[in-house]
Chain A
């Protein structure tokens, strides 16, 4: 039982890292970013490459990744996505456009990554056993979990207790109303998109220490992130965290008590059930 709790929570940390970035990008900037998984894998590729060629610790890579990911994602929003935002007359149209455009971007990212490293990112870091409350687990997962908690906490505090954070939350509620009260919506959207991409890339670097990724696996993580974001309710950080916890615990619980073959089926089943009874997600607002 304790095993399930510990492993499940650590898995939630992984899922939270995967989903927080997309939550910001979709909840605030209104971009349904299907290339989210590829950004994750880019972060992982950076960690893998720097570790295997220059023995640079992935923790250090995380710090290096932050500015690069921020600028990169900001540029993507500014030059590739802003034209779509400008020309879309409704949120529905923007969603459709962003799905199509980010789908194309995901292919471009895969192509770039494959030319750098076509195979699996085989490496392990901090793969030491560590015992938590009597349950064994590996150090790298614990580190990823702690960093996920840190990022989530920092994000939550920033969103609720700082001026720019309030602006971001305002935009996530309504872009029109925010514009009316003088918030520079395009700028906030761009910065939030960049922030979301940065968190995702950092997450990728961290999880690569214990999950073997390759250039084409991004889509699996995009799907997971989408499920978590929608299940938690769009635009709500608390929602994404709770959804990640639920999924982590359910998957681990099912794997231990029922059958590991049903983990993903059970996860999606929970997702489906939650949406059936609460169509706007756990913490989401009812559509206006």
Chain B
């Protein structure tokens, strides 16, 4: 009986000890879609990286905040891809859960919707999946908002450069077939592309949009084929990127340049089409030969069981690394100090050395290409390891 009560006392002390530590946790809030139209993308790009980061940091014993080791506590919510819902949950994180820091939302619209709320409470938002041309205006209004994936113009510029190169090399002519998904994302990009491609002397001979969720994209692909253009550009979302690729294969689209936007970089893209999609261009890119990236991809697979995508996954992880280093570097959980630290310093991440000028980090990949089973970066800003673009040579295995 003596032994039991001693044991009980020891256990009680141990519990009391760990709960003392537990009080010293850093609360991290994360809201992103787990259901709804954008869930498919968030589940690949956002959530695994959040989990990977939290688990890795805690496995190391937490973050060193001014000499004290503090573990991370993750509070996550499903916004169901609904702006009203997301706003409500953001307020919850700030006022009820009182989190110390937040992970920036997934999607341009959600970042903009929550910027005022998080701004009021001083949370730094290192946004990844937010692509806009209004960065200056937005960061002036919301000084806590940081952008890392480039502007709409930069996004389109990457494709434009490749088009010019391929035209100069004689692979394609002046004609482009361009399609876009009728969603804010696709509409913005197509609009910018019309301007920029036009300025570069290109002629968009087939220019159509299709509704989000179109079940049959064969008329679109047949139209593009009939236009005879040797370059095909699609500002598309995951389901249609896949659908368009399938149609291109079926129609044996005769192009030397094929680009589709989101999800082209997903591992499942290669999984579904094998070698047929060799030399297809897509949004994103990564330098798999870079040891930091390779280590990151391995850890991603080991801890989450999923393969990272070849675009925003690395950026999302990098944004969390920045947050981590800023907290450690500022040696405090004071958000104002940490936000200032982010503005003033440079960070060592899987994307290389990142720093912010006017809340904008200029290091990202914009275009990648599937080359022999690996999606390699071909165009980007301040990135190393870009490989030359290859022309598309048919759709057979």
Contact = CB atoms under 8 A, between A and B. Distances in A.
Nearest to A127: B246
A280 interface: no
B250 A137 contact: yes
Contacts of A264: 211, 213-214
Given A129-B250, A138-B246, A138-B250, A220 B213 contact: yes
Interface string A254-287: 0110011101110000000000000000000000
Interface residues of B, number: 43
B222 A129 contact: no
Interface stretch (B15-23, B268-276, B348-356): B268-276
A211 to B, nearest CB: 5
Interface in A7-33: 7, 10-11, 14
A156 interface: no
A14 to B, nearest CB: 6
Contacts, number: 121
A119 B40 contact: yes
Given A120-B238, A216-B81, A14 B218 contact: no
A119 B33 CA distance: 11
Contacts of B210: 255, 260-261, 263
B252 A129 contact: yes
Contacts of A263: 210-211, 214
A127 B220 contact: no
Given A119-B40, A263-B210, A211 B250 contact: no
Interface residues of A, number: 41
A52 to B, nearest CB: 8
B239 A110 contact: no
Interface string B258-272: 000001001011011
B271 to A, nearest CB: 7
A261 B238 contact: no
Nearest to B241: A212
Contacts of B208: 259-261
B265 to A, nearest CB: 13
Contacts of A179: none
B372 interface: no
A124 B248 CA distance: 14
Contacts of A7: 216, 218-219
B242 A214 contact: no
B223 interface: yes
B44 interface: yes
Interface in A94-113: 110-111
Interface of B: 34-37, 39-40, 43-44, 47, 81, 179, 182, 208-211, 213-220, 222-223, 238-239, 242-243, 246-247, 249-252, 263, 266, 268-269, 271-273
Given A122-B266, A212-B243, A215-B39, 17 more contacts: A110-B35, A111-B35, A120-B40, A120-B239, A120-B242, A122-B242, A122-B268, A123-B271, A136-B250, A214-B239, A216-B36, A216-B37, A216-B40, A251-B216, A252-B219, A260-B217, A261-B211
